[in-house]
Amino acid sequence: MRFEIVNAKQTPLRDEDVKSIVEIERHPMVKKWLIDYADEDFEKELEEYKKFFTDLQNNNLADVLIAKHEGRAIGFLALWRINEESGKAASIGISVHPDYWRKGIATSLVKESIRLAKGRGIGKLIIETLEENSAMKHVAEKIGFKLEGVRRILKDGTYHNEDVYVLNL
């Protein structure tokens, strides 16, 4: 399947792209894997995302890559800068619409984020994922991320293990 990856800082998103992104995040098969998901009203969440993308050019803490198929946003990756004493690091958040899983989209997004991060002088990438998230773990491991630790986290009232994967660039 053909898809392209665009950098949302270089190619501003249309409202329909932002709507597609919110729909991906709210999809039950996606939402169940997200750790800090604030379950809000659709319109409220859409407005927050529109504001985030409008302000993205001036946001030095975030970059977003969008995967598009036939002009439609089908997946995205956010790279969040975090301060670590050892140097510049960034955390990856990623979601792909379930209709497009297992087509290499997340793999391509993560690989592109590595190029982006290197260009920004980031020395370390982090992926935090639920231990049960075999697909995400597989993507991280095949690209070379190493399991650095496991945390106990509370999600929807239940404790889970969260794996912390790291790639030193």
Ligand X SMILES: CC(C)(COP(=O)(O)OP(=O)(O)OC[C@H]1O[C@@H](n2cnc3c(N)ncnc32)[C@H](O)[C@@H]1OP(=O)(O)O)[C@@H](O)C(=O)NCCC(=O)NCCS
Residues in contact with ligand X by the rule CB under 6 A: 30, 33, 94-96, 101-107, 129, 133-136, 138-139, 142
Neighbours of 15 (CB within 10 A): 11
| Run of H or E including 150 | strand 146-155
Q: Which is nearer to ligand X, 66 or 94 (CB)?
A: 94
CA–CA dist 71, 18 (Å, integer): 13
* Cβ 100 to ligand X shortest distance, Å: 6
Q: How far is the CB of 57 from ligand X (least distance, A)?
A: 25
Shortest gap between Cβ of 103 and ligand X (angstroms)? 5
Between CA 167 and CA 169 the distance in angstroms is 6
The DSSP 8-state label assigned to residue 103 in this structure reads: S
The distance of closest approach from Cβ of residue 163 to ligand X in the complex, given in angstroms and rounded to an integer, is 9
Q: Which of 55, 132 has the CB closer to ligand X?
A: 132
Residue closer to ligand X by CB (options 54, 134) is 134
Cβ–Cβ < 8 Å for 139, 113? no
Q: Which residues contact 32 (CB under 8 A, 6 or more apart)?
A: none
Nearer to ligand X, 104 or 123 (CB): 104
